[in-house]
Chain A
Amino acid sequence: DTAVSQTPKYLVTQMGNDKSIKCEQNLGHDTMYWYKQDSKKFLKIMFSYNNKELIINETVPNRFSPKSPDKAHLNLHINSLELGDSAVYFCASSQDPQGLVSDNEQFFGPGTRLTVL
């Protein structure tokens, strides 16, 4: 009965490869997010989707492409992986992206540790 799940938990790959990370939430939320946590533990928003539509796209290289087949899923595809992409990637969900609802608690997945060699 995991609320937000991600696969895989660990991903080790060579530079130049293409990889995907999957995320699913069973909370019935309308909004999902991808974050990157660097080696200094700083958490930075990458993308946000609301009802399958992209609403936030921070300064992320276009090698990163999110895909939302439905409200419960938000996958992250990364092309031509670089050494600097090594990080922990977190998926999260909440009901609303702008706090327009009163209970807008955000829930996180367990993270995917990506290592690019």
Chain B
Amino acid sequence: KQEVTQIPAALSVPEGENLVLNCSFTDSAIYNLQWFRQDPGKGLTSLLLIQSSQREQTSGRLNASLDKSSGRSTLYIAASQPGDSATYLCAANQFYFGTGTSLTVIP
């Protein structure tokens, strides 16, 4: 069973800054890791899915990496915008979720 941790719990940055969100998992026998965003009162929107055979995935300003040996995944957001403000969640092996990082991008 995976234990998933996301630090920090909250992050506030000025618009335009590049930032990294962290996700740690305990079991290196991971077959996939998925990043989501959740807006207040809404469901989860899938951002990126990384399979265990991959090291990273990119979509627009987002880049997610996976390092199985160290038990870490990072989500890199380039040139942050106020619209990026949301809670970001990672999930290891389909359904083991972290507690999320609440991101605020200040205009």
Contact surface of A with B, Cβ cutoff 8 Å: 33, 35, 40-45, 48, 56, 90, 92, 94, 97-99, 102-111
**Contacting residues, chain A, for B49 (C-beta < 8 A):** 103-106
B43 an interface residue at 8 Å Cβ cutoff? Answer: yes
Cα distance A97–B38 when bound, in Å? Answer: 22
**Contacting residues, chain B, for A103 (C-beta < 8 A):** 49
B42 touches A110 (CB 8 A): yes
Give B51's nearest chain A residue, CB to CB. Answer: A102
Give B34's nearest chain A residue, CB to CB. Answer: A106
Cα distance A110–B42 when bound, in Å? Answer: 6
**Contacting residues, chain B, for A33 (C-beta < 8 A):** 95
A44 touches B94 (CB 8 A): no
Given A90-B43, A111-B43, answer yes or no on A99-B95 (Cβ-Cβ < 8 Å): no
A99 touches B51 (CB 8 A): yes
A98 touches B46 (CB 8 A): no
- Our count of residue pairs bridging A and B at CB distance below 8 angstroms stands at 59
Cα distance A104–B49 when bound, in Å? Answer: 8
Cα distance A90–B46 when bound, in Å? Answer: 14
**Sample of 7 more A-B contacts, CB < 8 Å, known A41-B87, A105-B34, A108-B43:** A45-B95, A92-B44, A98-B31, A98-B93, A104-B51, A105-B46, A106-B46
**Contacting residues, chain B, for A98 (C-beta < 8 A):** 31, 93-94
B44 touches A108 (CB 8 A): yes
